[in-house]
Amino acid sequence: MFVGLLVSCLRASVTIPCPDIGDAMGLRGGDTSAARLPRWPPINPSTRVSALRSRSLAPAPSTASLARIFRETGVARSEPRKKPRSAWRWCVYPAPNACWQLDAAEYVLTGGRKCVIFQLIDDHSRYAVASPAAAGETAEDAIAVFDKAVAAHGVPGRLLTDNGLALNPSGRGLAGRLVAHVAALGTEAITGKPYKPTTQGKNERFHQTLFRYLDKQPLAATLTQLQAQIDAFDHIYNTQRPHQGLPGRITPLAAWEATPKADPPRPKPNRPVYRPPVPAVAPRPTPPAGLPAGTRVRTVNTTGTIGVDSVIYKIGVDHAFGQVLVVGDGSQPGDKITITDLHNEILAEHTRPPPGIRHIGNDHPAEPADQPRERHRSPDTPTVTDVLCGRECGRRPSRTAPEPDTRPHHPGGHRHAAPHASHPPPPHHGTRNVSTTCGCGTRCSRSSA
């Protein structure tokens, strides 16, 4: 009655004897004699309802109801501020078992104890495939939910979950147990973007419907009582409750049975995965028990040496990575050190070196550093001096014996230094003369700075 009176007044453009409407329209003193509503006014339902409610009339409908009635009768124009639902793009898989959605929601039992409810639904029909309650969100419980649903309804083509550690942590660089389990059956595990729950919107909305039902039930004390309540809800949800998201508001069971199920996926063959070879590490030998006092155990490094009191002793690369026993008679220079293997076989015997020596060899005699090496050269091989002299003389120097010295000898055994006509003058500052005797019998000299 209230709505019909208001709509008829707006259509007939009659004067409404209500001073509050005049006040709402900006007229002084509530004078509505001149307040003739136009034939197509921009109606504000909220203003009209508040004005009529102030007159203590009959209970008025809500603002949303009046706005909907005004648009249906043609009194008000539809000016939506957001995109209408007709423009939405619905993402629905074409057949049952093409994709399942799995998610877990937290629930509280009596005494504040927390648990989780896994909800596995079909994306195409919204059919509740499985909804078990568990003590926590773990990979083991998620696998049990999936296996229970597969045993009852078959293998799905895809499994959509969030990025939780128990469901699909692939986005975090981890290999999830549930992902590997479903992949063995051929099911592809997919996820939505992090912090974007709209991808799993069907399952999130399913949580809300379940919680509304559980709020009207007695609070469960155990998981068994909670599971009984969830099973009763699933039966009502699948078979009795019309679903608003399905065409014609049919039940999920009707949508599940209306379309043939998708073909089950084919499991992929277990191809060998390349794993880098792990180097074989020999077991570390255990030193014998009951070693005498002063015996130390050392491990030979890759160069075949060990360190004892800041001195490196050479053992041999054949004993690398092995353990040896070091037995010392004392700690003073000259004391004896014996190195044996774990079978008491002597490998080396040394004496402690004097301070300053940091390396002891393996008893092999080393070549003295100050001993000149013997050069094996043919007598016909010219020296560097012969080659340089031969270049200046223009001929190859000869390896002839030098001429005998005919200078007189001093009684004491020394020769007198007789002047030589061809003796070169003293060199100038900064130069030196090098004289050689060539095979041509002449004395060659060259100067060098």
Instruction: Provide Rg for the chain, Cα atoms.
Output: 53
* pLDDT > 90 fraction of the chain, expressed in percent and rounded: 28
CATH fourth-level superfamily of 100-258: Ribonuclease H-like superfamily/Ribonuclease H (3.30.420.10)
DSSP string for residues in 63-96: HHHHHHHHHHHTSS----SS--GGG------SST
* Distance from chain centroid for Cα 430: 73
**pLDDT above 80 (res 422):** no
Query: Any idea where the domains of the chain sit in the sequence?
Result: 2-73, 100-258, 295-360
Confidence band for 271, pLDDT divided at 50, 70 and 90: low
Structure tokens at 398: 């000869």
At 35 the pLDDT is 44
**pLDDT above 90 (res 277):** no
- Please report which helix (H) or strand (E) contains residue 257, including its range: helix 252-258
At 87 the pLDDT is 55
Query: How many beta carbons lie within 10 A of that of residue 305, not counting itself?
Result: 20
Confidence band for 361, pLDDT divided at 50, 70 and 90: confident
DSSP string for residues in 22-72: HHHHT-GGG--SS----SS----HHHHHHHHHTTT-SPPPPHHHHHHHHHH
DSSP code, position 211: H
CA–CA distance, 198 with 106 (Å, rounded to integer): 18
Confidence band for 73, pLDDT divided at 50, 70 and 90: confident
